[in-house]
Structure 1
Amino acid sequence: MGNVEKISVLLVEDEHMLAEILADTLGDRGFEVTVAYDGREGLDAVHRARPDVVVTDIMMPRMDGYTLVRHLREEGCDVPVLFLTARSETEDVVRGFETGGNDFLRKPFALDELIVRVKALAGRSHDSRPVQELFTLGRYEFDAERRTLTLDGRVSVLSGREAEVLAYLCRHAGETVSSSALLREVWGDDSFFNLRSLNVFVSRLRHRLADDPSVEIVSLRGVGYKLRC
């Protein structure tokens, strides 16, 4: 696997030995790595280093990963976040994404998988897609670039992942979209773990679109989804 240029990573991990191994591995692959050992240090490091991607553990002293990411999102910081976690229950996944996380990687994991996921998140943060994408969904107006969903003058701001999923469905409105294709486009791979995450985001988008019954994300069992509007 070739080196990666100019991708800066903030690694937030309270297990010092694991942090050293991960930092050395990422550094050897060409990443610029800053290390913090708890959520408070991580929050300060984001302000100082302005990383392209944050990779953070969840269970840490002083400030956990969920709280770290919640603070970042409240500040308006949309840096992509990859959670490292030994927890894989659905409620943990839901909480992580609702907090503002972008991806999960379960411990133990292969180092190459970590690198692939970091590269995918960094690629999305550097996406130079120049087209301003505006979609009309029934009574809703969706601005994919600004991540805003407007209904009767009321504006909701979507999370980055919500906006990516909805934008993909909008580009293929009226078409059957396979779960695998959507996952590869938005998550970077179509693993079962990411499929569970996709289901969470579709549920959240349905809730956001519930005020106009003419707009519907239809589940096609064993296949994927179709956006009707």
Structure 2
Amino acid sequence: MLRVLIVEDEERLARLISRVLSEEGYATETVSDGRSALARALAEPFDLLIVDWMLPELDGIEVVRRLRAARMNVPVLMLTARTQIEDRVEGLDAGADDYLPKPFAFPELLARMRALSRWPRETKRTDTVLSAGDVTLDPVRHAVWRDGERIELSAREFALLATLVRRPGQVFTRSVLLDTVWGSSPEVYTNVVDLYVSYLRKKLDREGERSRIRTVRGAGYTFDPHPAG
């Protein structure tokens, strides 16, 4: 069963898309803002994303740009009420794979989804396996290994580690990690990032060695595949 993430802030349309896709045999999940979409797409393996252009928090274009920057190659179908050629070009240049203007007919939506889902799944999976040093992550299997040893992580721990491992050496601020992994939930504070980094260190690091998740004072965190010492 193919998993589809629907990113649409118009509640009625989101429910309708979800219902139609469920009737067609897809497993669907719906979010209504860009930050939540980014967090879910980075944390869980989806076979296809349906992303509206105009979204709260982050617009659809920025969501797609950040996913592509993180080397996520999941197919993306962009929905928008914009009809100018320049808008279509912008969406495709940002990394969307197809473009469907609103209003649309559901038979066309389903046809475009079928076309995008014909991507070879083995190729997609190979491309999404992440490695940095002796740490390997497989987002499809939601699995992590260090030196071939399997490490069990929670969904949040996995999403946080995947964000860091995708860009080894890049410094991520706490606010960026918070937005990426936890979305825009008002109940979550930046110190939760420090807490989850400590969880990851306990599971990844070995006694007497430097942590692969390095604290950059005054900035944030970075993943160092080959820490000295």
Report what 1:13 is aligned to: 8
Between the two proteins, the alignment pairs up a number of residues equal to: 126
Instruction: Give, in angstroms, the shift of residue 127 of structure 1.
Output: 7.0
Equivalences for residues 1-229 of structure 1 within 5 A: 6-126=1-121
Q: Which amino acid aligns with 1:112?
A: P
| Contact 1:79–1:125 under 8 Å retained in 2 | no
CA gap 1:23/1:50 in 2 versus in 1, 3 angstroms: same
- Partner-residue secondary structure (3-state), 2:63: helix
| Contact 2:4–2:46 under 8 Å retained in 1 | yes
| Contact 1:52–1:125 under 8 Å retained in 2 | no
Looking at structure 2, the residues matched to 117 and 91 of structure 1 have their Cα atoms a distance apart, in angstroms, of: 21
- Partner-residue secondary structure (3-state), 2:112: helix
| Contact 2:7–2:31 under 8 Å retained in 1 | yes
Which stretch shifts more, 48-57 or 24-33?
48-57
Q: CA RMSD of the aligned region, Å?
A: 2.0
Q: What is the percent sequence identity of the aligned residues?
A: 38
Where in structure 1 do 4 or more consecutive aligned residues deviate above 4 Å?
A: none
Q: Can you list the C-alpha shifts for 1:45-74, whole angstroms capped at 9, x where unaligned?
A: 112331111001001111100000000000
| Ranges in structure 2 where 5+ consecutive residues have no aligned partner | 128-229
| Ranges in structure 1 where 5+ consecutive residues have no aligned partner | 1-5, 129-144, 147-229
CA gap 1:91/1:127 in 2 versus in 1, 3 angstroms: farther
Looking at structure 1, the residues matched to 120 and 3 of structure 2 have their Cα atoms a distance apart, in angstroms, of: 11
Structure number with higher relative contact order (C-alpha < 8 Å, ≥ 6 residues apart): 2
Q: Can you list the C-alpha shifts for 1:75-118, whole angstroms capped at 9, x where unaligned?
A: 00011100011112111111111100100011111111111111
Looking at structure 1, the residues matched to 39 and 29 of structure 2 have their Cα atoms a distance apart, in angstroms, of: 11
